[in-house]
Amino acid sequence: MGTGGIAEKFVEDGQRLADFHLTAVGSRSQASAQRFAGRFHIPHAFSRYEDLVHSPDVDVIYVATPHPWHYPHTMLALSAGKAVLVEKPFAMNALQARAMISAARSQKVFLMEAMWTRFLPHVQRIRKLLSEGLLGTLMSLQADHGQSFVPDPKHRLFDPALGGGALLDLGIYPVSFASLILGKPQKISAVADFTMTGVDAQTSMIFQYASGAHAVLTTTLSASTPTQLSLTGTKARLEVATPFYVPSSFRVLSQGRPVEEYNEPYVGNGLREEAAEVIRCWREGKTESPLMPLEETLEIIETLDTVREQIGLSYPL
Ligand SMILES: NC(=O)c1ccc[n+]([C@@H]2O[C@H](COP(=O)([O-])OP(=O)(O)OC[C@H]3O[C@@H](n4cnc5c(N)ncnc54)[C@H](OP(=O)(O)O)[C@@H]3O)[C@@H](O)[C@H]2O)c1
């Protein structure tokens, strides 16, 4: 659903999987639907999202529209009984996220947030090493995600009506990673600067956890920051190669021991694993993914809501 930038990348990567079958595309216009269908050899091209969700040839809908449409488009697909993979951020706020989760549960259909980084090999490896206690007690997580964009009031990243701003688009990567590693923060402190259009240009956050750990996270639309991630524990430190959110290698540094390097070879943009996870869950009749559970998706949106409240970021909903 939607024929924009990420939809193209998702299809390119999905088509690397033998059991990924793209049967239909839905767009707001016939021309765009046909262009996309022609490029990727898709049998059905619909000029209305309503027609896509009612197609009998479709089992799972990938919602790849701008953030404010994730809620209505997911609800549309769920109401037709289709499973849904929805782009990040899952929703504009926790109220919407709860309604989406509740609709999927009452329909008993699969729903998952497309936080693609989570399914990548290096992240799975990091999770395993942490569970084995490699770093000791985790004390600190530091991550940044900044990219330099030329301010353009009409671009979705700067337009409040399209859910613009650094936090929901880029900042969600460090926030989601912190959630994966440390859970829900107990205390949140955040500051931000705003663009002329009224969305956050730059947001910095400190999360404190019941365990005593801290996460220090930054995001910006104004500059290309290193996009690094480090996890520091009482026994060792783990540093993910930049940019941390795409397929990456990492290394572990501990006192008195040689540096350990971990490399996870990868082909593609990084979106293949999330597609594979949807197919696996679908085949097994699961209604959610154990790797990206809906309760955690909701917690992440609640965390973003708290940050937004503190920095005064609101949207015309
Ligand atoms: N996972 C990732 O790495 C990643 C990367 C980039 C973006 N994203 C997420 O994916 C979503 C889409 O981002 P994108 O960069 O692909 O955006 P985009 O290039 O602007 O494409 C969005 C598509 O949504 C459809 N759409 C429906 N209502 C729209 C509206 N009112 N205004 C504009 N487009 C509308 C359009 O397709 P039709 O005209 O064909 O209907 C458009 O091509 C965002 O929520 C973003 O956070 C994820």
Query: Over 80: is that where the pLDDT of 257 sits?
Result: yes
Ligand 1 atom with the shortest distance to the CA of 6: 16
Say what the pLDDT of residue 20 is: 96
CATH of 5-116, one of 3.40.50.2300, 1.10.10.10, 3.20.20.80, 3.40.50.720: 3.40.50.720
- Listing DSSP states for the chain in one string gives ---SHHHHHHHHHHTTSTT----EEE-SSHHHHHHHHHHHT-SEEESSHHHHHT-TT-SEEEE-S-GGGHHHHHHHHHHTT-EEEEPSSS-SSHHHHHHHHHHHHHHT--EEE--GGGGSHHHHHHHHHHHTTTT-SEEEEEEEEE-B----TTSTTT-GGGT-SHIIIIIHHHHHHHHHHH-S-SEEEEEEEE-TTSSEEEEEEEEE-TTS-EEEEEEESBS-----EEEEESS-EEEEPSSTTSS--EEEE-TTSPPEEE-----SSS-HHHHHHHHHHHHTT-SS-SSS-HHHHHHHHHHHHHHHHHHT-----
Res. 255 pLDDT band, cuts 50 70 90: confident
From 11, 25, 28, the mutation candidate for ligand 1 (largest count of ligand atoms within 8 A of CB) is: 28
Q: Specify the residue for token string 């399209």.
A: 162
User: Considering only CA atoms, which residue is closest to atom 39 of ligand 1?
Assistant: 28
**pLDDT tens digits for range 26-53:** 999 999 999 999 999 999 999 999 999 9
- For the four alpha carbons of 135, 137, 139 and 142, in that order, the dihedral sign comes to positive
Protein residues whose CB sits closer than 6 Å to any atom of ligand 1: 2-7, 27-29, 32, 64-67, 69, 87-88, 114, 116, 156, 162, 169
| Structural Rg of the chain based on CA atoms | 20
pLDDT tens for each residue of 130-153: 999 999 999 999 999 999 999 999
Name the band, by pLDDT with cuts 50, 70 and 90, for residue 256: confident
- Output the pLDDT for position 247: 85
| pLDDT on residue 258 | 87
Domain with CATH 3.40.50.720 in the chain: 5-116
Residue 292 scores a pLDDT above 80:
yes
Tell me how far the alpha carbon of residue 66 lies from the centroid of ligand 1, in angstroms: 4
Options 3.30.1360.170, 3.90.1140.10, 3.30.360.10, 3.40.50.2300; CATH of 117-311: 3.30.360.10
182 CA distance to ligand 1 middle (Å):
30
Q: Between the CA atoms of 192, 198, 201 and 205, what dihedral angle is there, to the nearest 10 degrees? A: 30
Q: What pLDDT shows up at residue 264?
A: 79
- State the pLDDT at residue 205: 98
Query: Rounded to whole angstroms, what are the CA distances from 130 to 98, 113, 134, 239?
Result: 30, 23, 6, 13
pLDDT digits (tens, 9 = 90+) for 160-182: 999 999 999 999 999 999 999 99
The CATH 3.30.360.10 domain(s) of the chain lie at: 117-311
